[in-house]
Amino acid sequence: MAGKIAVDFGTSNTLVTKWDENNSHGNSIFIPEFSRYLPQYQDSIATIPSLIHYTSDHKIWIGNQVHQHDLYGSRHTFRWMKRYIATRNPVRINVHGTEITPLQAGKDFLTSVLTFALTEAEINSSDEIAFSVPVESFEHYENWISSVAQEAGIMRYRLIDEPSAAALGYGASIQANSVYLILDIGGGTMHSSVVLMTEEAQLAGGRRCRVLGKAGKDIGGTTIDQWLFTDFLKKNKRKDFDADIRPISNQILAACEHAKEILSTQDEAAVSIRMDSGVELSHIYHRDEFEEILDSYEFFAEINQTIQASINAARERGYDENKISAILMVGGSSQIPAVQKALRYRFGKDRVFTHRPIDAVAAGAAAFISGVDFFDYIQHEYAIRYVNPQSGEYAYKTLVERGTSYPSLEPVAKLTIKASYDGQEKLGIAIFEIGQTANQKPNGMELIFDQSGSARVIPISAQEQENRRLFWMNENNQTFLCAEPPAHKSEARFSIELHIDENKRLTITARDLKSNQLLYSNFPVVKLV
């Protein structure tokens, strides 16, 4: 494959990353107008600010477009959508007379990003993509992601929790058979995961990762923004409900967020807002003062508690803290110097790694969807298609159940292949990946964009919904058994056995029953996931 993509929808920034199979590296995709570059260690990473603005004439601005139009502080701009979705916040915002929820705003944002990302990455909507998901809100967040993927026309996708993706994202710096702690302090959440990286001797593939312990809290960069917002108003002797503050509250919040980012690299940052009355609200924050604010809200204690909870869970599985080889830090707020200092103080400076805070999750998710995975079992169900003799319609027989271990010691299936007509020379099997059943609606509708860019709603049948669950794995090579001499109708011509090898490939051993000739021995047919 040319490469698969992964999406890391973050509270502050969203990344779309494409896997480069030649270099085994994830590259962030730059989407014109939507994206901007953020510095990371000795590189720059293309990111999309997680922002959407609704205009009065029913247009939307996405990501960096919001900054370009100077609309970040507008009341009609949504931010922190992921945090509201993850916590199931029921807030509704009146936008030009219409109430919009973060669920809807997030869907509008992400479907727009996906539509353009597929084009930029030259990815087909039938290709499988990966989404990273928060560890502390997995189930209901999965349902929301499913609705987004469906609306974006994505037929096949997989989920990976953010801590596990981060472990893969730091893959170039980690060693097999060691234990690592991943601390992710993103825009809306903080989570700590202890993972074991293993590489079994009989496996020819890449690294394997097993999660030993996880813990999470709803604290992140946006929480810090709120603390600064509250402190700034207090220092200017104001309240957030004051009549002259409410219209500019978003501007103040944006300025506080900017100050937080500056204080990660500089010793001071100014926050200055001019009110409609001409009165100026201002304060210069010094890094020491900023750290005192964090400490007053017990931010560092929260970090320690989260880390300790994940370590305690790992200890129950036989892995003590002293077995942790390295701490891998990800998320924008992990760049705060006081946070890094606290981690180095606890674990030692040589064990704390900070060079991939922005793109570790997205890069790891891209690696995961491209086959560098954590599991020693099959994630999807696979079946062969045949014609039901009673109904004359296609039916499917399962070959590989979801959860099947690999490599297989015994055949996962044994089949006899019969000819469909007299003189048939090419026979084979049609192998399908079976997606999980979605909630199907008898009168479903689908939003599409025509060539002029206009949105249209078209009906989608239950049968079409069912068809989208099915992906033909070997459509371009379904008849690979050659009958010499040609077979007769209904003649049992080939016996085949199917195995799964150590590289997660479905292999075939085939024998011609007429000549007793062995045609294939453990020949790889399709790659499973």
In order of their start, the domains of the chain are 5-170+356-369 (3.30.420.40), 221-296 (3.90.640.10), 381-527 (2.60.34)
How high is the pLDDT of residue 441? 46
Residue position matching structure tokens 């249209």 = 456
CA–CA gap between residue 288 and residue 364 (Å, rounded): 35
| Chain length of the chain | 529
Q: Provide the greatest CA pair distance for the chain.
A: 95
Stretch among 55-64, 84-93, 230-239, 347-356 having the lowest mean pLDDT:
84-93
Residue 124 has pLDDT above 90, yes or no: no
CA–CA gap between residue 287 and residue 410 (Å, rounded): 63
Where do runs of H (alpha helix) occur along 79-190? Answer: 81-86, 102-120, 138-151, 162-169
How does residue 218 score in pLDDT terms, banded at 50, 70 and 90? confident
CA–CA gap between residue 170 and residue 330 (Å, rounded): 10
Cα–Cα distances in angstroms (integers) from residue 495 to residues 395, 409, 489, 509, 514, in the given order: 20, 19, 16, 8, 10
Identify whether the C-beta of residue 69 lies closer than 8 Å to the C-beta of residue 121: no
Q: Each residue of 250-304: pLDDT tens digit?
A: 888 889 988 998 998 899 999 999 988 889 999 999 999 999 999 999 999 999 9
Where do runs of H (alpha helix) occur along 100-159? Answer: 102-120, 138-151
- 296-315 core/surface letters (b: 16 or more CB in 10 A; e: else): ebebbebbeebbebbbebbe
Residue 85 has pLDDT above 90, yes or no: no
Cα–Cα distances in angstroms (integers) from residue 420 to residues 275, 423, 487, 494, in the given order: 80, 9, 9, 13
Q: Each residue of 391-411: pLDDT tens digit?
A: 888 889 999 987 787 788 899
Residue 486 has pLDDT above 60, yes or no: yes
Q: Are strands 381-387 and 352-353 parallel, antiparallel or unpaired?
A: unpaired
How high is the pLDDT of residue 404? 82
Identify whether the C-beta of residue 417 lies closer than 8 Å to the C-beta of residue 496: yes
Q: Each residue of 376-385: pLDDT tens digit?
A: 567 678 999 9
In 3-state terms the chain splits into helix, strand, coil percentages (rounded to 5) of 30, 35, 35
What average pLDDT does the segment 511-518 reach? 94
How does residue 447 score in pLDDT terms, banded at 50, 70 and 90? very low
CA–CA gap between residue 395 and residue 300 (Å, rounded): 58
CA–CA gap between residue 426 and residue 322 (Å, rounded): 60
CA–CA gap between residue 492 and residue 417 (Å, rounded): 6
Cα–Cα distances in angstroms (integers) from residue 441 to residues 53, 445, 464, in the given order: 31, 9, 11
Closest by CA position to 146, among listed 84, 155, 113: 155
Cα–Cα distances in angstroms (integers) from residue 224 to residues 91, 108, 136, 253, 359, in the given order: 20, 26, 19, 10, 21
How high is the pLDDT of residue 108? 96
Predicted structure pTM score: 0.63
Residue 443 has pLDDT above 60, yes or no: no
Q: Of all residues in the chain, what percent carry a pLDDT higher than 70?
A: 87
Structure tokens at 449: 């964009």
